[in-house]
Amino acid sequence: MPMDEGMRAGRRATARGPGRPGPRRFLILAPAVALLAALVTACGALTPGSAADPGRPRTVPSSTAVPDEDITLKLTFADAPAMVDALVAAFHRKHPRITIEPRYTQFADYVKSIKLTMASDNAPDLAQYAVGMDDIAARGDILELAPYRDAYRWRAKLPASALDQLSGSRLTGPGRGAAGKRLYGVPAGLSMTGIYYDKELARRAGITRPPRTLAEFERQLAAVKRAGMTPLGVGALDSGGLHLWAALLNNAMPPAEYRRWIKGERGATIETARALAATRKLAEWSRKGYFDDSAIGTTQNDSTGQFVRGRSVFLVNGNWAAGQLAQAMGKKAGFFLMPGARPGARAVSSGFSVSYAVSSRTAHPQAAGAFLDFLTSAEAQKIVSDNGFLPTDEDAVPVPRGVLGEVARAHRRVTADDGMNHFPDFAAPAMLDPLRAGVQKLMAGRTTPEAFLGSLQDVWDERYGGGGR
Amino acid sequence: MSRGGRTARRPSGVRRVRGRRRGWLFVLPALAVYLTFAVLPALHTAYLSLFEWDGVTLGRWAGLDNYRRVATDPALRGSVVNALVLVVFFSFLPVVAGLVTTALLARHRRRGMAVWRLLFMLPQVVPLVAVGVTWRWLYGDDGLINETLGGIGLGGWARAWLGDFDWALVAVGLVGTWVLSGLCMMLFLSGVHKVDPQLYEAARLDGAGPVREFVSVTLPQLRGELAVALTVTTVAALAGFDIVYVTTGGGPGEETAVPGLLVYRLAFSDGKVGLASALGVVLSVLILAVVYVINRLARPERTEA
């Protein structure tokens, strides 16, 4: 519209000669402006937004008994519609009086609207957990689930690190409440990143087994490079670069220290000597040409497609790609975790769960709790596994064959070692872009490892500050 | 806002005032809509820019802190610089292309001009998101551009254009050039169409060559179209979002981040509604200033009028 405005102004001036708004015009404009100002201050009168309602419950009730009545729960989610439909149907067969109505939203829109959705008075009863849920928990829009965890004995049924990832951050209050750690969601299925490799191409470079140490992996990368092939496929246009950096970091930084940083614990920092070493390693690999030149301009999906077509020997990606790779490459595809410094080191990887939280505005917390507990059942775990997620209960499903089995076995090791770390962007909602852009700059040699870590810590400081709560 | 129109003929001042009031009555419906849906939201944005607010919880008064941050944060400042670079590709190149085409075609009226205009207009008809997706394929690793380079023996030049720190902004800019050149050509060609052929004839009789004719006849006659073209394309460059969002998402690094993209990201991903509003306000002021200058320059000199 500014164009129209300007054009009109120009024409007016020519029609009337050099026109300056006369005093009469001002007489009309002044009240109009005053009126506008009044309107703006009246409807906004106040500061934008609203404070949390102190009257709302913050914790689920102690009783888990589902009242015997017809109940309908709304569920908003962004991942795996087919899996959610199957879970909901299976749950309904078990609890015929409880109906769950799933509502699907595309992931990108979901994470942008979830805060407002959960803050509204007609919030859905159940919601998929996403980055930024800490803010929602801190505001009291989702319920703290620790009483149900104890009543349903979820600790015995679910991996410790999966529960730990859902225990909120410093913003939701001190890490340990009276009844131990807090809990804001229950996982249905899990995800995990790692490295795929093309067994045939690897053999051509003289590689016959997955590396057991980081040094061995580096020798393999160099061997592939010497053989004239691209060693490592990375889709760094979106999140592939971040997964690679996290994989190196996981093995360099003690998990406890890393998790303190993710959860915003006071005094935590990413600017440590070990994180720096991991970051330097990534820059060094880039300098040595271990990635394709175009990695920065390639999406994760495209890098996976290139790997299938034999354009790289290794590929950084997550378990979500395993189904596609198993189908396209069959026995050729293999999987391993980024190895640590020593053989037999603690198995650490990055991952998160598709998990669900309960709105504090729900009228039926017990029914919601029954659904969350159903997620841990063998029946639900079968559905979860069939839809490409890693089960929270590994014994509920048989280990699959081929590359899917290699992923499952690696995941068992990580679970046994309590080695599942958050993805690094969970440290703050604003962390994703600096990570993506920062790794791209590292790969292109446009920033130093020190400056990269500094920029991440700046985002962290802005969120968790010095003071905190 | 006529100046009283017919009533002005009557000497009575009272009547005249009443007539003017009646004029406002006619404007009122449009004005109400404009105020409600354009002016008020703009003012509300300006108001929000004075707060530190995540979009949900209670905001905190921040005064001018957000503006200070826009001025000092290198990433935010860099995005404004990127937008100014894009002006070259979105505005300057299309206008030049349009003028050259016009100069070549204007002298000789041919039948079928309308068809050409339609062809030039086509990129405008395609939704920008589709344009972005298509160009992402073209620029891709195995895309048409790299294949072509390889085919003519320039394989060494092939690269992932949108992931290249030196070339990504240029690549994005050229998409804009492609989209907006047609618009400029169309504008200028239709502008030339309404120029009195006698002017050309007179110029030719005076012995003007093609260049002289273009400079002395075509260009001055296209002043209005030029102003429109510059305004539209500059606004497209400065307020651009779709093409960048679809092709690069602001990467690699922050090489192609533009203010429109950051406003979206800050407000909806990062929960910094205040800062996003401040950047939006700064962007609007910048655009208004540029548009004002363009229209100022394009205003006909009074001697002509």
Closest CA to B88 of B188, B170, B145: B170
Please report whether residue B65 resides in a domain.
no
Give the H or E element holding residue A193: strand A193-198
Domain match, A303 and A430 both: yes
Residues B104 and B210 in one domain: yes
Same domain? For A368 and A432 the reply is no
Residue A10: its pLDDT value, please?
36
- Residue A5's pLDDT is 38
Per-residue pLDDT at B274: 93
Residues A198, A187: one domain?
no
* Pairwise CB contact (< 8 Å): B57 & A236: no
Provide ipTM, 2 decimals. Answer: 0.75
Q: Is residue B261 part of a domain?
A: yes
What is the pLDDT at residue A3?
Answer: 38
At residue A174, the pLDDT reads 58
The number of folded domains in chain B is: 2
The answer to whether the CB atoms of A51 and B59 lie below 8 A apart is no
Question: Does one domain contain both B159 and B116?
Answer: yes
C-alpha A393/C-alpha A51 separation (Å) is 39
Positive or negative CA dihedral for B91, B95, B96, B101? positive
| B130 in the same domain as B43 | no
Residue B67 lies in a domain: no
Total domains in chain A come to 2
Which residues of A are less than 8 Å from B139 in CB distance?
Answer: 297
Write the pLDDT tens digit of every residue in A163-184: 988 988 887 765 444 445 889 9
- Report the residue from B228, B251, B291 with minimal CB separation from A440: B251
B287 and chain A in contact, CB less than 8 A: yes
Predicted confidence pLDDT, tens digits, chain B (305 residues)? 444 444 445 555 556 666 778 888 889 999 999 999 999 999 999 999 999 888 877 888 888 999 999 999 888 889 999 999 999 999 999 999 999 888 887 666 667 777 777 787 888 888 888 999 899 889 887 789 988 998 898 878 888 888 888 899 999 999 999 999 988 988 888 888 888 888 888 888 888 888 888 888 888 888 889 999 999 999 999 988 989 988 888 878 888 999 999 999 888 888 889 999 999 999 999 999 999 999 888 776 654 43
Q: Note whether A111 and A217 are same-domain residues.
A: no
For residue A428, tell me if it sits in a domain: yes
> Within this chain, do residues A210 and A289 fall inside the same structural domain, yes or no?
yes
Cβ-Cβ pairs closer than 8 A, A with B, add up to 156
Does B63 contact chain A (CB < 8 Å)?
A: no
Asked if A207 and A223 sit in the same domain, the reply is yes
Domain assignment of residue A124, yes or no: yes
Mean confidence (pLDDT) of chain B? 85
Kind and range of the H or E run holding B291:
helix B273-298
A47 within domain boundaries: no
Residue B170 to chain A, least CA–CA distance (Å): 14
Q: Note whether B114 and B263 are same-domain residues.
A: yes
**CATH code, A228:** 3.40.190.10
Q: Is B273 on the interface with A (CB under 8 A)?
A: yes
The token pair at B76 is 């935010």
The parent domain of residue A94 ranges over 71-191+352-396
B20 and B165 share a domain? no
**A355 membership: H or E segment, kind and range:** strand A353-358
Give domain status of residue B14, yes or no.
yes
Residues 6+ apart with CB under 8 A from A114: A76, A127, A130, A132, A133, A136
Mean pLDDT by 10 residues, chain A (469 residues): 38 38 54 59 62 79 86 92 93 94 87 87 92 85 91 91 87 56 91 95 94 96 94 91 96 94 91 96 95 85 92 94 91 95 93 94 94 94 89 87 92 93 91 91 93 95 67
Residues A97 and A217 in one domain: no
**Domain identity same for A174 and A86:** yes
The verdict on residue A403 lying in a domain is: no
Contact A66, A40 (CB under 8 A): no
Q: How far does the CA of residue B114 sit from the closest CA of chain A (Å)?
A: 26
Q: Is residue B305 part of a domain?
A: no
Q: Which residue has the tokens 């999406």?
A: A299
Check: CB of residue A403 under 8 Å from CB of residue A335. yes
- Each residue's pLDDT tens digit, B119-143: 878 888 888 889 998 998 898 877 8
A146 and A185 fall within a common domain: yes
Q: Which residues are CB-contacts of B280 (< 8 A; sequence separation ≥ 6)?
A: B45, B49, B259, B263
Q: Check whether residue A334 and residue A375 sit in a common domain.
A: no
Looking at the domain assignment, is residue A7 inside a domain? no
- Indicate yes or no: CB of B291 within 8 angstroms of CB of A433: no
Q: Shortest CA distance to A294 belongs to which of B148, B146, B154, B175?
A: B146
- Statement to judge: residues B198 and B79 lie in one domain: yes
Q: Quick count: other Cβ atoms within 10 Å of Cβ B165?
A: 18
Q: Residue B37 is part of which domain span?
A: 5-48
Are A280 and A371 in the same domain? no
Is B253 in contact with A447 (Cβ distance < 8 A)? yes
Within A52-197, where are the H helices? 81-94, 107-119, 133-138, 146-152, 154-157, 160-164
Q: Report if residue B200 sits inside a domain.
A: yes
A429 and B164 within 8 Å at the Cβ level: the answer is: no
Residue A1 falls inside a structural domain: no
Q: With beta carbons under 8 A apart, name residues in chain B contacting A47.
A: 51, 53, 58-61
Residues A207 and A333 in one domain: yes
d(CA B237, CA B226): 16
Strands A193-198 and A353-358: unpaired
> Would residue B63 count as lying in a domain?
no
Closest-CA residue of A relative to B297 is: A10
Note the pLDDT of residue A15.
37
**Do residues B272 and B132 share a domain?**
yes
Looking up residue B118, the CATH number of its domain turns out to be 1.10.3720.10
**CA nearest B288 in A: which residue?**
A2
| Residue in chain A lying closest to B62 (CA) | A47
CA–CA gap between residue A98 and residue A70 (Å, rounded): 6
Q: Does residue B53 lie within any of the structural domains?
A: no
Q: Can you spell out the DSSP letters for B177-211?
A: HHHHHHHHHHHHHHHHHTS-HHHHHHHHHTT--HH
Cβ pair B61:A297 closer than 8 A: no
Residues B44 and B135 in one domain: no
Report yes or no on A371 lying in a domain: yes
Which residue in B has a C-alpha nearest to residue A116's C-alpha? B56
